Structure 1
Amino acid sequence: AGECGACGFGTTSVSSTQNAGASWNNFPTIQDGGLPISMSFVSPSEGWLLDSSGADIFTLLQTLDGGSTWKEVYPMAHPRPVNSVSFVNAQVGYGVGVPGDANAFLKTDNGGRTWSKIGHVPTAANSFVTAQLVFLTEQHGFLVYNSPSPNKSWIYETNDGGASWTLLKNPNGYGVSLTFAGTQDGVAFNQTLHWATTNGGKTWFQVHLKSPWLPWLPASDPAVAGLYLAGLAHLTMAKTLTDIVHSQNSGQYDQIGFAGSQVAWTPDQSQTGFLLTTDGGAKWSNIHGVSNVDFVNGEDGWALSGGLLRTTNGGKTWTYASHPTP
């Protein structure tokens, strides 16, 4: 058992050999937000894995099929998401993944204090994937899988709160991220390709930029830079955020999020946390050890770090919405 550093924090993977190590069988990644501590098998099919997602935070998993699937031995009374979260308001949110079940789909109606498992999201074609969950309303949302092997992205859409999902043909490519300004105007992008929608994702059109990711200052608001795609889809972006992202990772956008024109966040250079601004880019703070950030307004936000953190004051302080330990 080990952790795939290139796949992102918390991707525990298990492999088995039946020929003294000449070849190995790789099993689906366990998205449990941790690092494997020890593993023990009593037969080729039955075994246990102790995983850690931080100081004194441990998860004990068991498999009965030789490592293909895992279940938590001592599950929490209420599950918590460990892969990705997306909130539509201060109370209602969705999440992906629980310890031992990377495709579990969860919902909360109380700001993340408790979660209910309401189904499963689609299974990506490759086990080494990272996921991004983006919900615009309680019914309408998107799920993005990005896999470095093969270099491919899968984007699913739901219009019934996650009861069913449809795989989109476009946008396509690898390393695709989604971000929306409101519920209608959105952008899907990677390093070289860009799409936009002005009807909530019903239709997408590809945009060819002469200078990709070179924003300009609109005369209407000189303090905020805007990315205007084909003069239709408008995504507000703090100019300081733009400068920072361009100066890091050769301009690679792993994730960008917005809550109005004042709150924005993006992964830091080390990819071990997120940069957060709550004043339109004048000042930035680093949230260390966080794998996912989501705000619904300038005050209410959530972050995944072992457990689910919540802020109600724009990121000045954070407390656990759901406690990280049983």
Structure 2
Amino acid sequence: MNWTTRLQQTTLTLLTASLLTLGWGTSASPVQAAAPAPTPAPSCSTGDHGLLQELQAAHSGADAIPLSFSDVEFLSADTGRAAGNGFLIGTSDGGCHFQKIYEGQWSFQQIDFPDNIHGWALAAVNDGQAKYLIRTTDGGSTWKRLSNKAVTFERVEFLDSSKGFGYNRASTYYTNDGGESWSLIKTPANTRGAYFTSLSSGWAVVVVPGSGYQVMRTADGGTNWKLMLKSSYAEPSYGQIYANGSQVYAVLYGGYGMSQTSYSLYGSANSGGSWTRVIAQETAGGGPAPGSGAAKVKKGPASGSPGNLVVIGKTTAFLVGFQPAAEQVGIGFTKNNGQAWSNQMTVPGFEGTISFTDHNQGWLAVRDLNSSTLYVTKDAGATWTSKFSFETTGR
């Protein structure tokens, strides 16, 4: 073999090796090509994606009632629903996209889903005054009225697909057949607000005219009640109780006037063994707050009326507040059983309801004069992002 031939073969060998190293051609032990760069995740700015325009177009016209959110409930950071007059929407990706679940005659006032399939709602037919209890077994696409008679419930809460409670200010009812039938639970005389975490364990706010409030507890389904807290107030009216395990909160209402509400929020970390007066909000229109003694703060969220409260885990609670005259809605929270309280930023509105799934992530449904908006927070209410907004005027 001459030198020229040998040089050509050597050059060909080196060239082939270089090509194989770059991943071209075939080899017994090929070098794997680098993986392509991942596709950027789609942006998640709002959950509208055309659904808002579709719903508003279907409810436009001179005689149409503008769409408005009335309740929101999330089961997890990703999965939740929001409802209003004639519609129910839902998301399974944390609000990046919402889908229409229901559109029809039911005007939802409150929704409750213990899981992603079974749900109950208090709702009126269109814009009627009578309120009915309705149930779904397909996630909210279809609803069944459980009785032709209107109900007096102000709130329902279900523990699972069959067991649940119905509340009005004076009475508490229990069902174990999904709401087909109800039995009255015995509560103390002059009860004006109650809450049960199980059939045996419950709480009641009792008014004692001329004296004040009493918070009482039962561990045997209402047969016996034990006094856990006294709060003086000359004209007690009603209260609300919220509990999760050993963490308990009582909202006790004072007076109301000039669009101002006075109230006190008490919290307990040990099932009512001891209490902290967390908020004591007195107002010019509502007068003094119920009770006495030092409070952690003198104003609640938005310095307004208290709305619903959500208890998370063993230490955290969130309360929504709204002041119609100032057109503000905000939340406050504690992460240490009420030993410290923080009122967060407000958003425009005159009424709102909240749903929190953990210590930081939550949702807020707000109504104001011009719109109804669904907000999300990932930092315990320090900032809010609008996800969905209906115009309520000017259409």
TM-score by length of 2: 0.47
- Structure 2 residue aligned with 1:281: 338
Corresponding pairs, count: 241
- For 2:57 and 2:194, locate their aligned partners in 1 and report how far apart those are by CA, in whole Å: 50
Write out aligned runs for 1:158-307 (5 A): 158-169=136-147, 173-174=151-152, 176-179=154-157, 186-197=164-175, 204-211=182-189, 212=191, 228=218, 231=221, 236=243, 241-242=249-250, 244-247=251-254, 255-266=308-319, 268=321, 270=323, 273=329, 275-279=331-335, 280-282=337-339, 283=341, 285=343, 288=346, 289=349, 291-305=352-366, 306-307=372-373
- For 1:146 and 1:254, locate their aligned partners in 2 and report how far apart those are by CA, in whole Å: 21
Residue 90 of structure 1: how far off its partner (Å):
0.9
Q: Which deviations, in whole Å up to 9, do the C-alpha atoms of 1:45-73 show, x marking residues without a partner?
A: xxxxxxxxxxxxxxxx779996333789x
- For 1:322 and 1:254, locate their aligned partners in 2 and report how far apart those are by CA, in whole Å: 21
Write out aligned runs for 1:1-326 (5 A): 67-69=62-64, 82-97=69-84, 102-120=85-103, 122-124=105-107, 131-145=109-123, 152-169=130-147, 173-174=151-152, 176-179=154-157, 186-197=164-175, 204-211=182-189, 212=191, 228=218, 231=221, 236=243, 241-242=249-250, 244-247=251-254, 255-266=308-319, 268=321, 270=323, 273=329, 275-279=331-335, 280-282=337-339, 283=341, 285=343, 288=346, 289=349, 291-305=352-366, 306-313=372-379, 315-320=380-385, 322=387, 324=389
Q: CA separation of 1:66/1:321 partners in 2, compared to 1, >3 Å: closer, same or farther?
A: closer
State the one-letter code of the partner of 1:318. Answer: T
Q: Which deviations, in whole Å up to 9, do the C-alpha atoms of 1:189-229 show, x marking residues without a partner?
A: 1222212356765754322311425889xxxxxxxx88548
State the one-letter code of the partner of 2:375. Answer: L
Q: Which deviations, in whole Å up to 9, do the C-alpha atoms of 1:1-20 show, x marking residues without a partner?
A: xxxxxxxxxxxxxxxxxxxx
- For 1:194 and 1:138, locate their aligned partners in 2 and report how far apart those are by CA, in whole Å: 25
- For 1:118 and 1:209, locate their aligned partners in 2 and report how far apart those are by CA, in whole Å: 38
Residue 292 of structure 1: how far off its partner (Å):
1.9
The secondary structure found in structure 1 opposite 2:252 is helix
Which stretch shifts more, 179-188 or 85-94?
Answer: 179-188
The secondary structure found in structure 2 opposite 1:133 is strand
Kept after mapping to 2: 8 A contact 1:171/1:204:
no
Q: Which deviations, in whole Å up to 9, do the C-alpha atoms of 1:104-162 show, x marking residues without a partner?
A: 221111112221113225425xxxxx711222211111222379x98643221111111
- For 1:65 and 1:86, locate their aligned partners in 2 and report how far apart those are by CA, in whole Å: 26
Kept after mapping to 2: 8 A contact 1:112/1:322:
yes
Question: Which one has a bigger Cα radius of gyration?
Answer: 2
Which residues of structure 1 form unaligned runs of 5+? 1-60, 73-80, 125-129, 217-224
Kept after mapping to 2: 8 A contact 1:181/1:236:
no
TM-score by length of 1: 0.55
- For 1:162 and 1:210, locate their aligned partners in 2 and report how far apart those are by CA, in whole Å: 36
- For 1:175 and 1:254, locate their aligned partners in 2 and report how far apart those are by CA, in whole Å: 17
How high is the sequence identity, in percent, across the aligned residues? 17
Kept after mapping to 1: 8 A contact 2:169/2:193:
no
Which residues of structure 2 form unaligned runs of 5+? 1-55, 196-214, 223-240, 257-261, 264-304, 367-371
State the one-letter code of the partner of 1:109. Answer: S
